[in-house]
């Protein structure tokens, strides 16, 4: 190569620390890509029920108009 970086020996420990940090970053990126790939390929079923809503936002069938309640409604747990 025409140009390459030549650090003094005093910076060797920092160069090793930087190299280890870049290897850790590379491994974490590879693990992240594997997790994304595995989540897209596997066909797991969900472990929670989608109908377990407990707040008024999830009980509405469509978005209510602004300021449609003069007071907060009381929610009763039906399940």
pLDDT, tens digit only, all 79 positions of the chain: 567 777 788 889 998 999 999 999 999 999 999 999 998 999 888 776 666 666 666 666 666 666 666 777 676 766 5
Count of all residues that appear for the chain in the document: 79
21 occurs within a structural domain: yes
57 occurs within a structural domain: no
pTM above 0.75, yes or no: no
Q: Which pLDDT score, from 0 to 100, does residue 47 have? A: 74
17 occurs within a structural domain: yes
27 occurs within a structural domain: yes
The domain of 39 spans 9-47
And the tokens for 17? 């620390």
Q: Which pLDDT score, from 0 to 100, does residue 51 have? A: 64
Which secondary-structure segment (H or E) carries 15? helix 12-41
39 occurs within a structural domain: yes
Count of domains observed in the chain? 1
Which secondary-structure segment (H or E) carries 14? helix 12-41
78 occurs within a structural domain: no
Buried b (16+ CB within 10 A) or exposed e, 36-67: eeeeeeeeeeeeeeeeeeeeeeeeeeeeeeee
């Amino acid at each position: 190569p025409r140009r390459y970086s030549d650090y003094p020996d005093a910076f060797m420990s920092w160069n090793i620390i930087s190299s280890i940090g870049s290897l850790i970053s590379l491994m974490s990126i590879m693990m992240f890509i594997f997790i994304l790939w595995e989540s897209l390929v596997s066909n797991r079923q969900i472990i929670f029920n989608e109908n377990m809503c407990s707040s008024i936002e999830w009980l509405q069938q469509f978005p209510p108009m602004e300021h449609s309640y003069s007071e907060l409604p009381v929610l009763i747990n039906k399940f």
